[in-house]
Structure 1
Amino acid sequence: MKLTYVLLKKTKSIIILSLYLSTAFINAQKKINTADRPNIILIMADDLGWGDVGFNGNEIIKTPNLDQLANSGITFKRFYAAAPVCSPTRASCLTGRNPYRQGIYTANTGKLKLDEITLAEILKKEGYNTGIFGKWHLGTLTTKEKDANRGRPENYKHYTTPDMHGFDEYFVTESKIPTFDPLVYPEVFDEKNGESWRYGWSAIKNKKTKGYGTSYWTGKEKKALEIDIKGENTKIIMDKAIPFMDKAIKNKTPFFTIIWIHTPHLPVVTDKKNRDQYSKYTHQEQLYYGSITAMDTQIGRLQDFLKKQEISNNTMIWFASDNGPEVNTPATAGMYRGKKRDLYEGGLLVPSFCVWPQKISSGKITNIASVTSDYFPTILAMLNIKNKNTYPIDGIDLTNAILGNQRVRKAAIGFQYPDRMSWVNDTYKLIKNGKDMDFEMYHLIKDPKEKNNIINKYPKIANQLKKELFEWVESCKKSEKGFDYHNAKI
C-alpha cells in the first residue's frame, strides 16, 4: 500500500513536471513568434487629396520621402477611405467595419463604442505595445472642461479615450488643430493674402495670440504640457511617437503605432522655410503646399529612425488619407470627380501604399479596389492571427493582392453619408449623391472620371446593384442597433 502511494506520488510529480515543461515550451515558442512578428505603423494624413502627392503624379508639391516609401512597397491606385469625412474612416481602420454599423455617420457624431473590437485590443493581447499619436476624433477626451469640438463638462455621452480601446499610450487631440504652433492662433490675420481663422496663416512671429481651444491629451483628464507643443505639428507628433517605438525596441517587444497627422486639414499654418519652397505661388498655395512638405520631412525622419534601429526591414507601414481634399483649397483629387463630403471618386479615393521590405517587393502597383476597412482583416491575416470576432466585417483580406497577383475584389464596397449612398464593385459604381438626386451608375474602368451615367443603358445591372446595396444598408442598421455585440470575442 505504501509502495503504491509512493509510485502514485512520483507519477503525479512527473505529470506536473511534464505539464510545466510543456507550458514553458509553448510560452517560449509564443515569445519567439511574437519577436518575429513585424512592427506595424498606420499613418494617416487629414484631407490629403489623391493628387496631392508625387507618387500619384503631382509635380508641384514636394513629397520625396512619401514617394520613396511608396516605391519601396506596393502603391494602391484605387484605395478608398470608408467615408468622405474624418471620424467614420478612422473607425473603419480600427475595426474593419463600416462606420454606419457603429453609429458614426459623419465627423463629430457618435463615438467608438466599447463593444467594438479594435486592432489595438487584439494586437495588445498578442504581445504588441500599442500607441496612438495625433488626431483621435472618435470621441471626446475630457468630461471636466471645454475642449475642441465636443468636449464639455459632464459630457459623458461622447467620452471615449484611446486607452479604453486597447492603446497603452497616447498623445492625441480630439479633432483638428493648426498645423504649426497648434495651440494658438493670431489675433490679427493677413486677410489681403487670404489668411483667416478657417483657412490658415503664416507661422506666428512677434504677434499677439489667442488659445485655439484644443489640447493634446495623454491620459485620463491629463493634458500634455503646453511648453512641449510649439512649432511644426507633425514634428510634435513624431517627437512623441518615436520614443514610444524606441522603448518597445529596447524591451524587444513589437509595436503597433498609429500616427494620425492633422495635415493638411484647415487651418494650414506653415513656417517661412516651407513657404519659400513655393514662392512663385499664391500665399494660400504656399501655406497648403508647404504644410504637406513639412509633413513629408517628418515621414523622412521616421524612415531614418527605423533604419538606424535596424528594424525597417521588418516594419509594416501603411499610409492613406481619411477622405478626399477639402473644397475651396489648392488641394486636388487628380482627375477624379468630387472632393471631401462627396461619394464620387474624388471624395473617397486617397493616396495609399503599404511597405514591408521583408515580405513585399518594391515598385509594385495595384489597381484592385481597396478600402480602409481592409486594414483589420489584412493585418490579422498577415500575422496569422485568427479573428474570433463573429459579427459582420466589411473589409477583406488583401494579402493575395499585396504579396501575390490578385487583381479582382470579390466583395463590393458600400458607402454611406447623410442622404447619400453608394455601392462599388470592381467594375461598376451605383451612387445616390444627395437626398433629392436619382441613382446614377458608372463604369469605373472605362469611365473613372464618372462623366457618363449609364444607369438607363444597363437597367438589369443597376437593379442588381440596388438590391445588394439595400440589403447591406439593412445589415448596417441592425448592427447600429447593437444586434452584433452579444457574440463579440477577442
Structure 2
Amino acid sequence: MKVKLTLLTVLVLWVMSCGTRQSSDTTIQPKPNIILINIDDLGWSEPSFMGSAFYETPVIDNLSKQGLVFTNAYAAAANCAPSRASLMTGKWTQRHGILTVGSSERGKSADRKLIPIVNKTDIDEKFLLIPELLKENGYHTIHAGKWHLSDDPLQNGFVVNIAGSHAGHPSGYHAPFKNIALKAEKGERLTGLIMDELIQTLEKNKEPFFVNYAPYAVHTPIQPVTSLLGKYETKEKIPGKSNPKYATMIEDVDSNIGKLISYLKRTDRFKNTIIIFTSDNGGLFFVSNQHPLRAGKGSYYEGGIRVPFFVVWEGKIERGNTNSTPISNIDIYPTLLEMAKIGPPGDLILDGNSLWPILSTQEVLESRPLFWHFPVYLQAVVGQNENRDPKFRTRPGSVVRYGKWKLHHYFEDDALELYNLEDDLGEKYNLVDTFPEKAEELYQLLEQWRSDTNAPIPTETNPEYQQPTR
C-alpha cells in the first residue's frame, strides 16, 4: 500500500511540476516603460558628460554612464518644431511639411532672393505619431512640457497633458505664466512645477507608461535660478562657453531629472524603464558658443544639428559604452517599436532605422547617409554668429552627411560646401575644389533623396529682393 501511495504521490508531483513549468514558460514579460527626455536648445557639448568644464550636469552624467552614449547624434532639423515633428513621425521634414517655426519668410524680404516654400505649423492628423501607436498597444501616454506641434497634445495620442500647447517658449520661467496653462503660486519656477506634476501623475497612473518629457528649458528667455548664480559667477570662465545665468538653467534641468530618477528607483520602476536623453537641436550660439562645432541653433553646420544622445535600459543595454555611428532623432520611433516589441502597421513608412542592434549587441550597422532639407529662411539673431552671412542663420538648402564627409547645397547661388568632419569638425575648410569627385558623389546622393521624397525646392525669385552692393 505504501508503494502505491508513493507512486501516486510522485505522479501528482510530476503533473504539478509540468503545470508549473508551462506557466513559467508562457509568462508574459511586462512591457517596458518609456521615458523620452528631449531638452530644448541644449548644445552637443554642454552636458558635462560630453566635455563641458563649466556647465554642471551630475545627474545626467551619472545616467549616461548607465547606458550607451552616441557621439555622432543629430536632430532632423536645426530648430524646434521641425525637429520635434520628425521625431514624433519618424519622417524627414519634407514629408510632414513643418519646416520651421511660424512663417518661412523670416528676415527682411529685401534680403531673400527666393520665395520660400510655405510652412505648416500643425502636425497633420494623417500621421501616426509615437504616442498614438503606443497608446493603441496598451501604453498610458503622458506629455510633460513643450509640445509645439498643435494646440493640445491630447489631440495627438496623449492621455495626460502637462503644460503642453503650441507655445514654443514660456513668457518667463516664474509664475504667473502668460502663455502656459499651469497652476502655480506667484514666483514658482516652471521647470520644477512640470517635473513635480509629472511625478504626481506617475504615482496615480498605471504601467506601462510612455512619457514625453520636454521641459521648456533651456530655451530663452535666459532667466537664472538665483540661488545657484553665485557659484557660477565665481567659477573660472571659459571664453564663450561660461554663461552663469544659462548654467543655472542647465543645472536646474539636471536636478529635476534627478527627482524623476529617484522616483523611478524608489518605486522599483527604473529597472524596467527605457530612458532616451537628447536635445531638439543645437544650442543658441549667442548664449553659449558650440565650439568645437561651428555656429548654432538654426544653422545646418554641426553646431545647429548635432546633439547629445544616450539610451539607458538596466540589464538590457551594457553600461558605460560610447558609439560613433551617425544617427538621427528619426531613429527613435523604429527603435522604440523594436524595444517594446510592437509591430508597426503595414502602411507605416518610417525614414529612420532601429538602433536596437547597436544598443543590444554593439552591432556595427551598414553605413548610411543622413540628410537635412530646409527650403526656407531663418533670420540671424543679435550678436556674433558663424553662419555663411550675418543676415541669416541659414538660407534655403539641403545637407547630407555620409561617413566622414558632409556636403551643403544652398539654392540661392547653387553653392556647394564640402567638409571632412574627421579632420575638420569645425567645418572651417571647404574642400569642394580639392575633392570634386567626392562632392559630386554626395551631390548625386542628395539629388536622388530629394527626388525620392518629393522635397520641394524654391525656384521663384522674390521681386522685392535687392542685390547687395559691394
The alignment's TM-score, normalised by the length of structure 1, stands at 0.75
* Cα deviation code 1:244-297 (max 9, x no counterpart): 22223xx3x200000101111110212321212212269x92211111111111
Instruction: Give distance in 2, aligned partners of 1:358 and 1:245.
Output: 22
Which residue does 1:450 correspond to in 2?
Answer: 427
Residues of 2 paired with 1:420 and 1:326: CA distance? Answer: 20
How do 1:171-190 residues align onto structure 2 when only pairs under 5 Å count?
171=162, 172-173=164-165, 174-178=167-171, 180-184=173-177
Specify the code of the residue in structure 2 equivalent to 1:168: V
Matched, 1:358 2:315: yes
Change (3 A) 1:45 1:409: farther
> Which residue type is aligned with residue 298 of structure 2?
R
Match of 1:272 in 2: 226
- How far apart are the structure 2 equivalents of 1:32 and 1:420? 53
Report the 3-state secondary structure (helix = DSSP H, G, I; strand = E; otherwise coil) of the residue aligned with 1:375: helix
Closer, same or farther: CA 229–113 of 1 in aligned 2, 3 Å = farther
Alignment of 1:253-264 (within 5 A): 253-264=207-218
8 Å CA contact 1:42–1:259 kept in 2: the answer is yes
Match of 2:266 in 1: 308
Deviation string 1:154-209 (CA, Å, 9 cap, x unpaired) is xxxxxxx212221111121422015631545xxxxxxxxxxxxxxxxxxxxxxxxx
Aligned residues: 390
Match of 1:92 among 86, 89, 101: 86
* Cα distance in 1, alignment partners of residues 317 and 291 from structure 2: 27
Distance 1:471 1:390, change over 3 A: farther
- Among candidates 101, 121, 133, match of residue 110 of structure 1: 121
In structure 2, the residue corresponding to 1:269 is in which secondary structure?
coil
CA 1:100/1:32 → structure 2, altered by over 3 Å: closer, same or farther? farther
Distance, in Å, in 1 between the alignment partners of 2:356 and 2:93 is: 23
Contact 1:178 1:269 in 2 (8 A): no
Q: CA deviation at 1:425?
A: 1.7
Distance in 1 between residues matched to 2:422 and 2:200, nearest whole Å = 44
- Unmatched tracts of structure 1, length 5 or more: 1-27, 142-160, 185-212, 217-223, 481-490
Identity %, equivalent residues: 29
- SS of the residue 2:244 aligns to: helix
361-370 or 456-465, which moves further after superposition? 456-465
CA distance in 2, matches of 1:387, 1:268: 41
1:338 aligns with 2:295: yes
Match of 1:324 in 2: 282
Residue deviations 1:222-256, cap 9 Å, x none?
Answer: xx43x3575222211112211222223xx3x2000
Instruction: Tell me what 1:401 maps to.
Output: 358
Paired position in structure 1 for 2:107? none
Q: 1:214 aligns with which of 172, 179, 186?
A: 179
Match of 1:126 in 2: 137
Q: Quick check: 1:46–1:321 contact (8 Å CA) kept in 2?
A: yes
State which drifts further: 342-351 or 461-470: 461-470
Q: AA paired with 2:149?
A: L
Secondary structure (helix, strand or coil) at the match of 1:215 reads coil
The 8 Å contact of residues 51 and 332 in structure 1, kept in 2 or not, is answered as no
CA contact (8 A) 1:102 1:479 kept: no
Match of 2:74 in 1: 80
Residue 298 of structure 1 corresponds to 256
Give the Å deviation of 1:408: 4.4
Letter of the structure 2 residue corresponding to residue 452 of structure 1: Y
| Native 8 Å contact 1:53 1:63 kept in 2 | yes
The 8 Å contact of residues 44 and 260 in structure 1, kept in 2 or not, is answered as: yes
Structure 1 residue identity aligned to 2:284: E
Letter in 1 for 2:156: H
Query: Structure 2 regions of 5+ residues with no counterpart?
Result: 1-22, 103-119, 377-395, 458-470
Match of 1:56 in 2: 50
Q: CA deviation at 1:434?
A: 6.7
Amino acid paired to 1:373: I
What are the residue-to-residue correspondences of 1:227-246 with 2, within 5 Å?
227=184, 230-246=187-203
RMSD over equivalenced CA pairs, Å: 2.4
- Residue of structure 2 in register with 1:472 after alignment: 449
AA paired with 2:38? M
What amino acid is the match of 1:180?
Answer: Y
Task: Give the match for residue 42 of structure 1.
Answer: 36
Aligned counterparts of 1:479 and 1:451: Cα–Cα separation in 2: 29
For residues 379-408 of structure 1, give each alpha carbon's deviation from its aligned partner in whole angstroms, at most 9, with x where no partner exists. 111122122253542211111111222344
Does residue 398 of structure 2 align to residue 421 of structure 1?
Answer: yes
For residue 74 of structure 1, what is the amino acid of its counterpart? L
